[in-house]
Structure 1
Amino acid sequence: MSHPREGQPVPQVTFHTRINNNWVDVTTDDLFQNKTVVLFSLPGAFTPTCSSTHLPRYNELAPVLKANGVDSIICLSVNDPFVMDAWAQDLHAENIYMLPDGNADFTEGMDMLVDKHELGFGKRSWRYAMLVKNGVVEKMFVEPNKPGDPFEVSDADTMLNYINPQAKCPHRITLISKPGCAHCVRAKQALTDRGMKFETIELGSHGVSFSTLNALTGRGTTPQVFVDGELIGTADELEAWLARLG
């Protein structure tokens, strides 16, 4: 079932943004004209689902989305530009354009404004995502009208699947390391040489210990590498896995 906004132009709005500590007005045309844009909107910066899942996955899949014809990826929230900038820095969301809809003009124009006064939020955006081509909404994924903050259809994977069901997502790679570990350095370099992004969990930080390593992997040496939730193992095992990829 199509959404009523599909086939309609996005609202004409001027956003008051901050760039390099200067106020810069950005218009709807600046953002959408002659471009293919994915915009996802959420209730608030720093809120749990937005920070843990919604924005990070769009940031993670941004290279794949862009390889499939998307020019830019915008995260919109009814927040001021200072909060949006701080949030972007906190999450290292380098692939996402953070758009503050401080007065909720765009959100209201999209008929997505909701009242969250019971949370002390005031008026905020409902959670949704859309694909916009040359300023016209092609597809919208709007979360169902349920209590709380549903997050079922506006995710990055759903959007990518709509744009190209055959698109291949990047592997999700986690490397457990320890300071001064030469094999950890080798494993990181092997992934970097392949252009593969990975997260590093270092023993001794954030309460992660050798006991944690053993509980997760059944092993006591570093590095230990996980790919898509599966334990690959040591640097040697990682290099063998990479070789099998071709």
Structure 2
Amino acid sequence: MAQPTSLPNHEGKQVPDVTWPMRSGDDWSKMSSKTLFAGKKVVLFSLPGAFTPTCSSTHLPRYNQLASTFKKLGVDEVCCMAVNDTFVMNAWLADQEAENITVIPDGNGEFTAGMEMLVDKSDIGFGKRSWRYSMLVNDGIVEKMFIEPNVPGDPFEVSDADTMLTYLAPGIKVPEDVSLFTKPNCPFCEKAKTLLKDAGYEYEEIILGTQATLASLKAVSGYDTVPQVFIGGKRIGGSDELEAYLQGV
């Protein structure tokens, strides 16, 4: 894979002035970088391509997961950019169910070139793509950049969501992952969801019968009743156990 010859840091500089064609439903529109960044605090991470392994398994999902935490810290928008067209980026966003992320299709690579992050990946059939990086932009000015090291391959060491979060709030306690197994029309499940919301937890709901089976629940938890709540990889239990847990936190 081709290696970049240089990776300039643009901290303190204005972001490139670029307009991107966007597709929403059956309609075309345009978004400018001025509109995206003006008067706002934006976290943007850029990656080699939609549907590629690291981008799909880790990079995008973690930013989507922490988007609400970023917003509590004053970030107005979390954006993902790639040198892909708008159809590809929209399809990837839908496939990832990353509703907290704004995707930017830098299909012609103009913004990426302006950031001096456009690299040649022709040896793997990609053509020109973005080097992996992330940045915090304040009112169009780059405050901070995390650029992956200039080594062969596709390094993923510093442009991740947790590194950006630590920069914004050193010492912050990263929110724990919460999963909740439920089934429709279950009052105890509704109680558990209310308890989590009131305590400020975001959670992934796994609905039996649509996303999982009772056998799956028993295999994971050892129990065949709902709700079953897991926080930080630890089984908490049902709604009463969750209530007791939250009172002790």
Q: TM-score, normalised by structure 2?
A: 0.86
Distance 1:63 1:179, change over 3 A: closer
Partner residue of 1:53 out of 52, 58, 62: 58
Per the TM alignment, residue 211 of structure 1 is displaced from its structure 2 partner at its CA by 4.8
Match status 1:244 vs 2:244 = no
- Structure 2 CA distance, aligned partners of 1:47 and 1:84? 12
Structure 2: where are the runs of 5+ without partners?
Answer: 1-6
Distance 1:178 1:119, change over 3 A: farther
Equivalent position of 1:148 in the other structure: 153
Per the TM alignment, residue 182 of structure 1 is displaced from its structure 2 partner at its CA by 4.3
Which residue type is aligned with residue 126 of structure 2?
A: F
Q: Is the 8 A contact 1:190 1:239 kept in 2?
A: yes
* Alignment: residue pair count: 243
Per the TM alignment, residue 203 of structure 1 is displaced from its structure 2 partner at its CA by 4.3
Q: Is the 8 A contact 1:131 1:139 kept in 2?
A: yes
Distance 1:4 1:180, change over 3 A: closer
Equivalent position of 2:95 in the other structure: 90
- Output one character per residue of 1:44-103: Cα deviation in whole Å (capped at 9) or x when no partner: 112222222211221222222122221221111111111112222222322221110010
RMSD: 2.3
Q: TM-score, normalised by structure 1?
A: 0.87
Equivalent position of 1:7 in the other structure: 12
Q: Is the 8 A contact 1:40 1:75 kept in 2?
A: yes
- Structure 2 CA distance, aligned partners of 1:50 and 1:238? 34
- Structure 2 CA distance, aligned partners of 1:165 and 1:57? 18
- Residue 40 of structure 1: SS of its match in structure 2? strand
Equivalent position of 1:16 in the other structure: 21
Equivalent position of 2:222 in the other structure: 218
- Output one character per residue of 1:173-227: Cα deviation in whole Å (capped at 9) or x when no partner: 0113345654334323332344432112344556x55554344333343322111
Percent identity (aligned): 56
Equivalent position of 2:234 in the other structure: 230
Q: Give the 5 Å matches for 1:130-169.
A: 130-169=135-174
Per the TM alignment, residue 13 of structure 1 is displaced from its structure 2 partner at its CA by 1.3
Moved more, 26-35 or 74-83: 26-35
Q: Is the 8 A contact 1:64 1:167 kept in 2?
A: no
Structure 1: where are the runs of 5+ without partners?
Answer: none
- Structure 1 CA distance, aligned partners of 2:38 and 2:184? 48
Q: Is the 8 A contact 2:8 2:116 kept in 1?
A: no
